[in-house]
C-alpha cells in the first residue's frame, strides 16, 4: 500500500505517518531534508529522530527515486516538501530563469513518481499541503508552492491512499 499523508506545518502528519508504518516490521526511514547548521532545523530533525524506533534504518538522501527503487521492505519518506527544497537548492533555481532548470526538475518528479508507483512494499510519504493561502510575493515562495503542488498531485495520483491531517485529525481523501 502506498499512502501519502498531507497537511499543514505542525498538523501532526509525521506522527500519523509513523503510526501507519510502525507495525510493518523493519522500516526504512528516508530522510530527505537539507543538511543545515540552523539551530531550529536541527531541533526539528532531532525530535523526529527521537520519536523513531531504534530498529528503524535511516537513509538521508535527495536521490529519492533510487532510495524507493532499492527498498527491501516498508518505508517512510519524510518529507516531499523538504526533498523539493533540497532539489531546488541543488538545481540553483532561486535566481535562475525557469527555462534553465525546469526540464531537470520535471525529470526528477517523473523518476520519483515512477519509483513510488512501482514500489512493491508498504510505503508512506509525508508532504506539506500548499496553496490554501495567499500567493507569495516572493519568487522563491511561488516556485516552491507551485512545484510542490505539482509533485503532490503526481504522487497522490500514484498512491493507493491519501490522508489529510488537520489539527492532528485524519481525513481520508482517497481510499483503496
Q: Which residues belong to the active site?
A: 48
| Cell numbers linked to 152 | 503532490
CA-to-CA distance for 168 and 108, rounded, in angstroms? 31
| Cell numbers linked to 114 | 515512477
CA-to-CA distance for 156 and 17, rounded, in angstroms? 15
For the CA atoms of 24, 45, 128, 74, what is the dihedral angle to 10 degrees? -20
Strand residues in 84-160 grouped as ranges (E): 123-128
CA-to-CA distance for 19 and 11, rounded, in angstroms? 14
Residue 11: half-sphere exposure toward Cβ, Cα within 13 Å: 20
CA-to-CA distance for 3 and 98, rounded, in angstroms? 31
Amino acid at each position: 500500500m502506498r499512502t501519502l499523508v498531507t497537511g499543514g506545518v505542525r498538523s501532526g502528519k509525521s506522527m500519523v505517518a509513523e503510526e501507519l508504518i510502525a507495525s510493518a516490521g523493519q522500516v526504512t526511514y528516508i530522510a530527505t531534508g537539507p543538511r543545515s547548521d540552523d539551530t531550529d532545523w536541527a531541533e526539528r530533525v532531532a525530535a523526529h529522530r527521537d520519536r523513531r524506533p531504534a530498529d528503524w534504518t535511516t537513509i538521508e538522501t535527495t536521490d529519492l527515486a533510487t532510495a524507493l527503487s532499492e527498498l527491501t521492505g516498508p518505508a517512510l519518506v519524510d518529507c516531499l516538501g523538504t526533498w523539493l527544497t533540497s532539489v531546488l537548492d541543488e538545481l540553483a533555481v532561486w535566481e535562475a530563469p525557469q527555462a534553465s532548470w525546469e526540464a531537470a526538475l520535471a525529470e526528477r518528479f517523473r523518476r520519483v513518481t515512477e519509483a513510488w508507483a512501482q514500489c512493491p512494499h508498504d510505503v508512506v510519504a509525508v508532504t506539506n499541503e500548499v496553496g490554501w493561502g495567499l500567493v507569495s510575493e516572493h519568487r522563491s515562495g511561488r516556485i516552491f508552492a507551485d512545484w510542490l503542488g505539482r509533485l503532490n498531485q503526481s504522487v497522490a495520483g500514484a498512491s493507493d491512499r491519501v490522508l489529510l491531517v488537520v489539527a492532528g485529525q485524519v481525513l481520508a481523501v482517497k481510499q483503496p
